[in-house]
């Protein structure tokens, strides 16, 4: 048990904390661009194909995750947001989000709820009505993985409820369709002795409704 706890507090755990810090710093670095950008508040359905627990981010589980997601329209009206200064307006229109990540190789599955903030950073980039969009998600994720890994290729997650963050950078082909690069991170933030994160990376396709 002592050996297991030491392993879960060792280099991989530190790498997990570093990755969480990098994700937070990336969101903070991109925030000034979001302040100047247009809030996107409509509903979307998304489908992603993600590399599960990618090895270059400290992974050891395997497989591909199928990532269905529904993002609902923001309940905060544009008219109300227009009365706010830009340094507040960019953050007050989150979109309620629900989704899942289904692993195709029998490793950890996830379901999550939370909020997504999305901003259009640029428009009419290649063609009329296209655009570059940035999204950030935060919320709880529920998993069926191991609290203490029972095999060398299973993560010790420390809890069946984890914090989830995600970043997505997309190209809006038209006002309806988007394709994007996507990365997410789940961990317990050091609240448990075992805290091996899962980090996924892949592509997603979105359709506005």
Kindly list the domain boundaries of the chain, sorted by start residue.
2-208
| pLDDT of 16 over the 90 cut | no
Question: How many Cα atoms occupy the beta-carbon half-sphere of 121 within 13 Å?
Answer: 14
Tens digit of pLDDT for each residue in 108-163? Answer: 999 999 999 999 999 999 999 999 999 999 999 999 999 999 899 999 999 999 99
Return mean pLDDT, the chain: 88
Residue 61 near residue 9 (C-beta atoms within 8 A): no
For 2-208, CATH number? 2.40.160.20
For residues 42-59, give the mean pLDDT. Answer: 94
Nearest Cα to Cα of residue 138 among 156, 118, 109:
118
For residues 65-86, give the mean pLDDT. Answer: 94
Distances (CA, A) of 79 to 33, 72, 75, 83, 91: 22, 18, 12, 7, 15
Q: What pLDDT was estimated at residue 160?
A: 97
Distance CA 180, CA 68 (A): 14
What percent of the chain is modeled with pLDDT above 90? 73
Residue 143 near residue 110 (C-beta atoms within 8 A): yes
Nearest Cα to Cα of residue 99 among 75, 50, 66:
66
For residues 68-93, give the mean pLDDT. Answer: 92
Q: What pLDDT was estimated at residue 17?
A: 58
Q: What pLDDT was estimated at residue 46?
A: 98
């Amino acid at each position: 048990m002592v050996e297991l706890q030491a392993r879960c507090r060792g280099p991989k755990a530190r790498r997990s904390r570093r990755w969480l810090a990098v994700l937070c710093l990336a969101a903070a670095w991109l925030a000034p661009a979001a302040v100047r950008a247009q809030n996107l508040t409509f509903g979307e359905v998304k489908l992603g194909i993600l590399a599960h627990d990618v090895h270059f981010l400290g992974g050891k589980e395997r497989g591909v995750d199928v990532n269905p997601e529904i993002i609902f329209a923001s309940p905060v009206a544009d008219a109300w947001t227009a009365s706010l200064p830009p340094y507040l307006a960019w953050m007050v229109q989150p979109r309620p989000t629900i989704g899942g990540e289904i692993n195709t190789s029998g490793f950890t599955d996830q379901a999550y709820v939370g909020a997504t903030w999305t901003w259009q950073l640029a428009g009419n980039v290649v063609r009329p009505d296209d655009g570059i969009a940035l999204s950030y998600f935060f919320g709880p994720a529920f998993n069926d993985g191991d609290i203490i890994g029972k095999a060398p290729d299973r993560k010790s997650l420390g809890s069946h409820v984890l914090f989830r963050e995600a970043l997505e950078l997309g190209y809006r082909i038209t006002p309806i369709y988007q394709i994007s690069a996507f990365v997410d991170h789940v961990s317990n933030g050091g609240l448990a002795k075992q805290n091996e994160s899962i980090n996924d990376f892949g592509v997603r396709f979105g359709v506005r409704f």
